[in-house]
Structure 1
């Protein structure tokens, strides 16, 4: 590969690292063509960008950025594919979905400004809630007291109405 090509690839990887808040490092080397196509389709439907990279070029891309990614250097062995995503847990769920096939193999991740290394951290990543899930939870919590008040007023109104009706019938 020519030096210009390497430089262009490093610049592209650096741009993707800056564009996406979250990325996962995986190994998909043992996938055949059919399973690779299936994985790429699933990534596309989940808005995950899957890129196979050379470890040395990825490390140079890391070094070209202001952030310190040294914690991920030990996992840059063998074949490496990067899964870029704006949703923190989307790649983790996809990797977890295929854990029976053991491909893609989780190597490490940079998610919400934290490093996760090793297969034992994948479960934690799957359980991370996305921004939209957190917003939904907050809205649900905010709506809950209002729903309780409305429910109490509605049921209380029926009770008061029933008591008044009974009292009015007694006096007659």
Structure 2
């Protein structure tokens, strides 16, 4: 790779990193062609971009990025692939699902909403992080719950008053 090609690759990686707050780094080496194709297909369906990268180029892109990746560049050893997503738990779920059949992909680390996670032991926690949409849905549900109780109580009270009024009208 020439210097010019390297600088272009770094610029492209920097642009990809600037456009997201969710980056997982994993080792997918040793996967056969069919399994790799299945992994790419699962990523595509989930809206996750999977790309095999050169460690030195990714490290340089992380250095010049506006985001603070902390210790994440230290995991860039051996083969590395990045999973870029808009949903925090999507790459974790994909990796966890593939780990049911094989020992790869192996999570090296992740950058999720300005937090850095290092090591494969973080996979279970990362796969259960709630997305922004899930959190908003829960919040709306919690906010609606008391209002629905009040409306239900008022409807029951008014329904009871209507029944009393009908009974009084029938007796008169």
Paired with 1:53 and 1:89, the residues of 2 have a C-alpha distance of 21
Larger mean CA deviation between 81-90 and 97-106 belongs to 97-106
Q: Residue 60 of structure 1 corresponds to which residue in structure 2?
A: 60
The two structures, once aligned, show a CA RMSD in angstroms of 1.8
Paired with 2:165 and 2:78, the residues of 1 have a C-alpha distance of 79
Is contact 2:20-2:86 (8 Å) kept? yes
Which blocks of at least 5 consecutive residues in structure 1 are unaligned? none
Paired with 2:14 and 2:158, the residues of 1 have a C-alpha distance of 63
Paired positions, count:
171
1:99 Cα offset (Å): 2.1
Larger mean CA deviation between 11-20 and 99-108 belongs to 99-108
What's the CA shift string for 1:25-71, capped at 9, x where partnerless?
01111111111111111111111111101111111111222444340
Which blocks of at least 5 consecutive residues in structure 2 are unaligned? none
TM-score normalised per structure 2: 0.90
Paired with 1:113 and 1:119, the residues of 2 have a C-alpha distance of 19
Paired with 1:84 and 1:66, the residues of 2 have a C-alpha distance of 16
Q: Does the C-alpha gap of structure 1 residues 153 and 2 become closer, same or farther in structure 2, counting only changes over 3 Å?
A: same
Whether 1:88 and 2:103 are equivalent positions in the alignment is no
1:123 Cα offset (Å): 1.8
